Every structure is written in structure tokens, then in C-alpha cells.
Structure 1
Amino acid sequence: MPTVIPSTTITGILRLGHLAALDVKGADAEKFLQGQTSAQVSLANGEFAPLTCFCTPKGRMLANGQLLRVDDDHFRLILSASLVNGLATHLKKFAAFYKAELIHDASMNLIGASDGAGTLATSLELTLPEQPFKQHGNAQASVVRLPGPMPRWLFCVPASFALPITQEADDTQQAAWALEDIRSGLAWLTDVQQDHFLPQMLNWEALGGISFKKGCYTGQEVVARAHFRGQVKKRLVRAELATSQLPAIGASLMTEQDKAMGEVVASAQRDSESVELLAVMNTKAVDEGTPLYWQGSEVTLLSLPYSIERVDPEQQAASLKVAT
């Protein structure tokens, strides 16, 4: 039976088991990451935590995530737990030429909070950031404000800290968190669709996840060409279905003639009779209003909380300094 979410309120705090932390440490950590990731790594300064991604030479995403600076020579990437080991193995081939090491600390607790964020921040002696992508940290923990219509924060807390969680968050709260990711238009790539999408197909440049002002990184030429020549023919959209069943990641959205025009990236139950989802869809089908279906249920498009246009992370970082 699907998890029923009576409201979108996220109460208390919950462990985000679907995410993991990959640390990059060493004197060359910044230089190494600069050649591998879409972020302008120097912008991750301990106060600004940009979104980023790692690509193949053909520009297809191997992973996406959020980049935090923990210390001068210490960065932390937050990404799907299903990708952390594979990405670490991939990057170690290049890290061997730098004074940098990759560490997956499986004991690190990734904690999500909305209403309960203030209490947790106080117990960790952290200042709760008010702006999306803003980070605050100390010697024991860090917190970053996530983008989206609902105020949410992601904490990185070591296993040694006694968290005020009496039990693992139930399925309702986990599903509510997933629903807010969908409503934020924030798609976390998983191993099911690795090496499948250009970053722009997940609207990554609209979220500030691509720096078009930095130098070369793996896949940069393809990503830049797709942007400047307008060659992106698929885009992430938010939609709903009148159904009690969750479509799987990768499920096809079909026309009446059984032609696939989109595929599901994430889905969450809104209530017992409806589902919200993110899907990468053919832009022509979206623009022409082509009716699409999943197992007989018609797809109804919903709005995203951002425009499909380029947002430079350099501008995001500057706006945080101005607000401060």
C-alpha cells in the first residue's frame, strides 16, 4: 500500500538514508575537484554550498549533488547513496595524480529538518542559514539551507553526536521529504539513470548547478555546446497523476499511440489517490500539450518554483554576500 501523506508538514528531524557524504581531502583537493565537477569550486567557501555534477566525456551525468567546504583542504559532496561508491571509484582514477583522497564515511548522519531545524541547530551550536545554498559549520557539524518553497535544512552530523531521534522517521515523513524535493524541482540522480542525462535535462543550470564561467572539466565541452546552441530537447517537469500507485524510476510516459515522450525521475504519494512526480520529458510534447499517460492515468503538468533559464552560481554566491 502507498504511504499516505495527510499534509506536507515535516515534523521533527529525520535521517536521510537515501543520501550519503563523499569527502575529498588534501592539499590538492580544490584543484582536483575543479577539473572534475561543474561547480566553480572556489565558490564553495564554507558559506555558499553550490549544486554541482560530475559527467562523462560525453556530458552525461554520473552524479549530482551539493558541494560543501568543511575546512581549507576538505570538501564534502552530498549525493545519492546509490552512487557514492561508484563515483568514488571513478574519481580515484584521477585523484591518484593529486594530493587528494576520497573518503566515504558511512557513519556520517545526514539529517533533514523543517520545523525542528532550529532546535537541532541550537544543540549543535550552529546558526541556521536563512537563504537557500547558504552553509554554516563548526568543528563538529554543518548545515545548509535547501532550495524550494518549504524552508528545509540538511545537517551533516558525526555518529558521535547523540541525535534527538527516538526512532527512525516513519515512511510518512520520508515520503513527505521526497514530495518536497519534487515540489522544489530538485532531482537527485540515482544509479538507475546514471550516464543517461545531460545536466540541463534535470534543469541543473536553472538551479545554479553549472558554472559556464570556469575552465575545463570532464564533459564541459558537450555541456557548454548544448547550452549555447540550444540543443536541449528534453527537460525536467513536475506533474501529477490520479493514481494510488507510484511509478518506478525510469517508467515511461506514453502518448495515446504508445510512443514514449518522457521518463520518471522521482515520484511521491501526495495522498491516497494522487501522486506527484518529476520526469524528463520531450520539450516539443510539453510545448504542444500532447496528452501523456502512465498506465492509463493522464499526466497533468504542474508548475516549478523556478524559471527554465540559466542561473550562474557566481551570482548566487554574490547575492549571499550582499544579504549578509
Structure 2
Amino acid sequence: MSTQDSQQLAHSSGYALLSDRVMARISGPGTDKFVQGQFTQHVDEVTSERSLRAAACTHKGRAYCLTRLVRDDEDLLMDFDASQAEATMNHLKKYLMLFRGTSLEILPTARIIGLIGEASAASVAGDSAHALTQPGQTLQVGDSHLIRIENTADKAARYEWWQPTGEHPVPDDIPELAVEQWLASSISAGVPWLTEASQETYVPQMLNLQHLQGVHFKKGCYTGQEVIARMHFLGQLKKSLHRLSFNNTQQPPAVGAKLLADGKNVGEVVNAVMTGEHKGEMLAVMRHDASANALSIDGMDEASIKLEQLPYAVPEQQPSDT
């Protein structure tokens, strides 16, 4: 990859077919009650004009699923990592059994398309797309949903185009991007995703989900709520998601690779992608008191690490006055 390519990797305009994700539909009379009891988001705030992130957690408050909730008439749509979808759905269906007549099913022909750039969104939805200025704002396009999501650190606009039927072709004037470019844009935007190696590892706040419209602290009881609420209201969060760049390596660090400061483990890699020759970006959950130290990656002594700014505020990462 050339230097020019690497400089543009995270913010080139275009589209990427997110083939690593699948879409599911929850339908039936118990849809909202089921979601309310299993996810960190308040389901009443998910409307035809507003889509929100959410997590599903264990009883210990550890996230095993990060998803997005999209209102589709009386139903709710959500997405899963394709490699984890079957296991995640099997787990959720244990709770769904309590709601007679309510189902959770994968939509086999559905697809999710990532869009970067306001021009790409306008090609899909016309001038109406310009009304989408804030993360979560949603516009119905036929039977599909165009959702504004978080900008990259360079302020490139990003969107997701949810197609439950998969019948909407991408306009010819939108160039196709590699999936790696979309993943790089997500890291630049400070938006993590879970893999098999990171499931059930983090409380949602450690992944900054409360700053990504993913946690509602005033809703009723749900699985894992006690731990999540205690961490929030008692100020017990000691580590959270940071964005970092790395250089002088031919491959990205593995998920779960340890971050070291003065030889001590201060965090671990959540997501990483190469953005150019010998360089890339990553998201890592790291102790707040370690961010000012010189960092290294365990087992990658040649790599240099630099802390980068997230495009949204994380007050918990600021030094305490006390």
C-alpha cells in the first residue's frame, strides 16, 4: 500500500459491503419487552427516525454482543458479527422463550452497506440525506434505512444503509471501498467491535459505549444492569477505550495483545488494522493513569505506539482534581 493510499484509507468516499455482519429481525407482541430486558438501550427511544447502539451482557455485566437497533414498522432489526451470530442468537433465544409469539430470525438476503462521505449518502437518498447531521438520525429510503453514524477523527461523514430485503443496488457513482477501509474508519471514529477473543471481557463503559449512544442509565432492569449501573453511579471506571496509532510493523497486533508501560500490563488491544505500509491504528482498553506513559505492545518490541485523540469526549479519561 502506498503512502498516498494509507493517508486516505480511513476517509475515502465510497461504499463497502459489510459482509462480516448479518441482520436479524425481532417480531411479535413481545418484541419491545424482550429487547428492553436484554439490552443496554431503552427501546422506547428507538424510533423510525432514530437508531441507537446497544449491548447485550452477561449477569456480570460483560458485553457478549454489540449491536444497533433499527425500528422497522412494528419490528426491530439488529446486526450481529457473522462469525458469532449463531451462538449469540442461541443465547438470546433462551430468554425469548418467555415471549410467546415473538421470534428472532436472521434475514438471509439482507445486507448492510457502509457509506463514507456526504456525497455517497446523497447518491442513495437525494437531498433528504443532508438532514442527517447527528449520529443515530435515520431516514427511510423505500423499505431500507439510511443511518447517520459517527464521523471519523478527520470529520468524514459515515452512514450505514440497512437493506432488510437486499434489493437496493448501490448507485454507480459511488466507488467501492475495501472492507479494511471501513474498519479503519470505525477505528478512527472510536467505534469498537467485538470478536470471539473479546466477548464477555468488557463492561460496556470500558468500550466507551455510553458515549456512543449505547447505554441508557435510567431504564429499568436488564441482564447485567446492576454491575453496569454501579460502575456508572459510583465512578468506578478505571479503564476505557483509547485510540492509538502504531508504526514499524508489518502486521497489526492481535486482539487481546497486551499494552505495556514500564513493563507492566496496562491494557489490551480490542481492534487493529493496517492503514499503510508498516503502520496502522488500533483501539485498546487501557488504564486511565497509563495514558501519559511510553507504551509498547507485548511481543512487538519493534513497533512504536502513539496515543491519538478520539473524535468524541470521554470525561472519565481526564485526570481527577482530587
TM normalised by structure 2 equals 0.86
Match for residue 314 of structure 1?
Answer: none
Q: CA deviation at 1:238?
A: 0.4
Percentage of matched positions with identical amino acids: 30
Indicate which of 103, 109, 112 corresponds to 2:111.
109
* Consecutive aligned runs of 4 or more in structure 1 exceeding 6 Å deviation: 125-128, 165-168
Which deviations, in whole Å up to 9, do the C-alpha atoms of 1:236-279 show, x marking residues without a partner? Answer: 1001111232112222222343x322211111222213211100
Which deviations, in whole Å up to 9, do the C-alpha atoms of 1:43-69 show, x marking residues without a partner? Answer: 001111111100000000011121111
Alpha-carbon distance between aligned partners in 2 of 1:246 and 1:166, rounded to the nearest angstrom: 32
- In structure 2, relative to structure 1, the CA distance for the partners of 1:68 and 1:127 (3 Å cut) is farther
Count of residue pairs brought into register by the alignment: 304
- In structure 2, relative to structure 1, the CA distance for the partners of 1:68 and 1:167 (3 Å cut) is closer
Match for residue 248 of structure 1?
Answer: 254
- In structure 2, relative to structure 1, the CA distance for the partners of 1:265 and 1:159 (3 Å cut) is same
Indicate which of 260, 263, 267 corresponds to 2:268.
263
Alpha-carbon distance between aligned partners in 2 of 1:248 and 1:225, rounded to the nearest angstrom: 31
Aligned partner of residue 191 in structure 1, secondary structure:
coil
Q: Write the letter of the residue equivalent to 2:6.
A: I
Q: CA deviation at 1:282?
A: 1.9
Match for residue 49 of structure 1?
Answer: 51
Which deviations, in whole Å up to 9, do the C-alpha atoms of 1:171-192 show, x marking residues without a partner? Answer: xx32221111111110011222
Which deviations, in whole Å up to 9, do the C-alpha atoms of 1:69-124 show, x marking residues without a partner? Answer: 1112x00112322332222111111111113110111321111112322112249x
Q: CA deviation at 1:2?
A: 10
Q: CA deviation at 1:128?
A: 6.3
Aligned partner of residue 123 in structure 2, secondary structure:
helix
Stretch deviating more after TM superposition (50-59 or 236-245): 236-245
Match for residue 293 of structure 1?
Answer: 297
Q: CA deviation at 1:36?
A: 0.6
Q: Which runs of 5 or more structure 2 residues have no equivalent in the other structure?
A: 317-322
Indicate which of 119, 122, 131 corresponds to 1:118.
122
Aligned partner of residue 295 in structure 2, secondary structure:
coil
Which deviations, in whole Å up to 9, do the C-alpha atoms of 1:149-180 show, x marking residues without a partner? Answer: 3211101122333444799946xx32221111
Match for residue 6 of structure 2?
Answer: 5
Q: Is the contact between residue 122 and residue 129 of structure 2 (CA under 8 Å) also seen in structure 1?
A: no
Alpha-carbon distance between aligned partners in 2 of 1:36 and 1:65, rounded to the nearest angstrom: 12
TM normalised by structure 1 equals 0.86
Q: Is the contact between residue 242 and residue 298 of structure 1 (CA under 8 Å) also seen in structure 2?
A: yes
Q: Is the contact between residue 114 and residue 160 of structure 2 (CA under 8 Å) also seen in structure 1?
A: yes
Q: CA deviation at 1:293?
A: 3.3
Match for residue 132 of structure 1?
Answer: 135
Stretch deviating more after TM superposition (222-231 or 291-300): 291-300
Alpha-carbon distance between aligned partners in 2 of 1:214 and 1:128, rounded to the nearest angstrom: 29
